Structures are given as C-alpha cells and as structure tokens.
Amino acid sequence: MANKKTFEDNLKELEQIVNNLEKGDVPLEEALTEFQKGVQLSGELQDTLKNAEKTLTKVMDEDGKESDFDLKDQSTEKND
C-alpha cells in the first residue's frame, strides 16, 4: 500500500510544476502532461482545504451532537 502524499507534499509538487512551466523551456508534450498533473493536484488541494474547513466549522453542543459553527451567531451573542 502506497503512502498517501500530504497536503504539503502536493503543494510543493504543484509549485515545482508551475516553476518549470514558467521557465518556458519544457517541450510541448511534457508541458501538457505537467499542466494536466498540476490541474489534478490543484483539485486535490482544493478538496483537502474544503474538507478541513468543514471539519473546523463543526462544534459539539451540550448533547454531544455536531453542528455547524456560525460566526454570525457568535458575533450577535457578544453584542447582546
């Protein structure tokens, strides 16, 4: 079983792809392959960030049930 790459590993790889493509000295076929890989990595990174955001916006209520954390509710409570 292969180890799953971390968010940081994928980000470094995407940065390297972008740097290589920005140099402009990559053959067209390789550039297209690298671009496709970069798009895939970008999608994976976005999914990871969305899942992290969902996790961070969950809170437990007094009954132990998860609910969404709403910053709007928090700010109105402080003003009351």
Full-prediction pTM beyond 0.85? Answer: no
Q: Phi and psi at residue 68, in whole multiples of 5°?
A: -70, 140
**CB within 8 A of 39, min separation 6: which ones?**
none
41-80 pLDDT tens trace: 999 999 999 998 888 887 766 676 777 766 565 555 555 5
Q: How far apart are CA 48 and CA 42, in angstroms?
A: 10
Tokens for 33?
Answer: 């392959």
pLDDT in tens, 9-38: 999 999 999 999 999 999 999 999 999 999
Report the C-alpha gap between 22 and 1 in whole angstroms: 34
Q: How many residues does the chain have?
A: 80
Q: What is the pLDDT of residue 60?
A: 64
